[in-house]
Amino acid sequence: MKIASKTSESAADRSSRFELVMLGAGFAALLMMVMIAAWISRRAEAEARWVNQTLEVTNKLSELKALPARAEAGQRGYLLTAGEAGYLANYSAAVAQLPITFGQLEATTRDSPVRQEGWPNSSR
């Protein structure tokens, strides 16, 4: 009779050990998933910052592209209207805005020398 009880105890011990091993494996898998999720989250935040910066650069480039056209339109209006001052004010405002917008564009891309490569007056 002692043999039968030893066998049942060892089966219970094995079952208990198996449960503990499976519980530990499950906890390790959960911990690994949490670490991967945190890494993915940090990576997504970094990528979102790059996307936002790219959108800012695109907007500044669009503004920079439009300023000479505004200046030219103001100049043309001034010349065609024989000196109406309102057109000259548009020209002056657009010309004054050019270096400001270019400076903002440089500041936005300061952390990326590749984006500033080839720019005139670039402070590298």
124: confidence class by pLDDT, cuts 50, 70, 90: very low
pLDDT digits (tens, 9 = 90+) for 28-80: 999 999 999 999 999 999 999 989 988 998 999 999 999 999 999 999 999 99
| Residue 23: predicted pLDDT | 95
Please count the other Cβ atoms lying within 10 Å of the Cβ belonging to residue 64: 15
How far from 53 is each of 59, 75, 108, CA to CA, in Å? 10, 33, 7
113: confidence class by pLDDT, cuts 50, 70, 90: confident
| Residue 59: predicted pLDDT | 94
CA-to-CA distance for 28 and 116, rounded, in angstroms? 46
> Is residue 122 classed as helix, strand or coil in its secondary structure?
coil
Full-model pTM = 0.62
| Residue 40: predicted pLDDT | 97
Whether pLDDT at 1 is above 50: no
Whether pLDDT at 7 is above 70: no
| Residue 112: predicted pLDDT | 77
Return the structure tokens found at 83: 């000196």
